[in-house]
Structure 1
Amino acid sequence: MGTSSGRRVGRPRAAQRPDSGLEPRAELLTAAAELFTTRGYAATTTRAVAERAGMRQASMYHYVSGKEDLLAELLESTVTPSLACARELLADDVTPAEERLRVLCRADVELLCAGPHNLGVLYLLPEVRAERFAGFHAVRAELKDAYRQLIAATAVGGGLAKGELELRTDLVFGLIEGVILVHRSEPERPAREFARATAEAALRIVGV
């Protein structure tokens, strides 16, 4: 017999979420991003994520191991592009360090402010301190060290004592991540405006 009924073959979808065309794992990440930032991580069940993604809960486990898997990937997505940018900037021995630091600040802020969901608020979750998120913390630490290296390479940074260099790095990195909270209160403001203002403020902290 043929399949003339026109029924779609594949995993069943929830009626409230039309087919987005995304791959299943990407669809789950999109659903998790929405629910974790609106309902809260602890209040979101795996069943809710699966239903929001348009699949049965049992099907979800073919693509992810659970909520922690989704949270870890979402967290890393807020850092890895900036780290890739930082590595390129560190390898650039022509552009002045001050300009490279400005570029990194702007790129980092634009990433944190991008997308429909404020993923940066997930940094504040107590669950993120667990060992499962060691990968995220390692990437974030490498990004912070890139900031330190760029600050040290500036005309001002080269003359700083180690403790002062570490302090200014902490302040700049804290400023960048702090934009998450400011953006949450002003979501309508374009990311490029946050990026420009934050980069200039970071350079003032450094003393440039």
Structure 2
Amino acid sequence: MSLEIRNLSDITAPLATESFPTPYPHSLTATLESEPKEWKLDWSYTVTEILVAVVAVIGNALTVTVFAVDRKLRRLTNYYIVALAVADFLVGVLGIPFAILTSIGLPKPLWPCLLMLSTLLVLCTTSIFCLVAVSVDRYLGHPVSAQVLQGHDREDCKVSFKNERMNKRVNRKRKPEQPEGPWLGT
């Protein structure tokens, strides 16, 4: 049994005449006449989002400003914190207004709506990854300050640090021991 296709329009003609529902509520050709005349705005949500945006913008702008002014703060860990502050600043400036606009159904055309939602997604994901970087850096990088936080005073930490350095010097001067065992052929 073989199917013979002589003309491609015989196959595609039924598809062109049928109307398929679009999976997206917004289309590229949406007009204002087909949209509802009233916008429903949840005021409690909007006011909360605006307050969060204002606090995020002010707090993170202050963080970046302090980092830029004070040169003593320019250490690797603080660069992670500034990256987090910049990401959260952008969430406050761009992400939250985009979230408010998309909650009321704006913009209507598909591509601007997708652009706004993907920008919001990228900004929030960047903020989360910066927070993970800060957490990993804090987890891996500060054994001496952890001893200070556990109640040891500064002199104890200095003594223990000097002992560690002295042990490394002594171990460097020793001749390394030769391992023995059946796996070496001895």
Shared fold, TM over 0.5:
no
Q: Report the TM range for the smaller structure's normalisation.
A: under 0.3
The structure that has the greater radius of gyration is 2
Give the TM-score normalised by the residue count of structure 1: 0.25
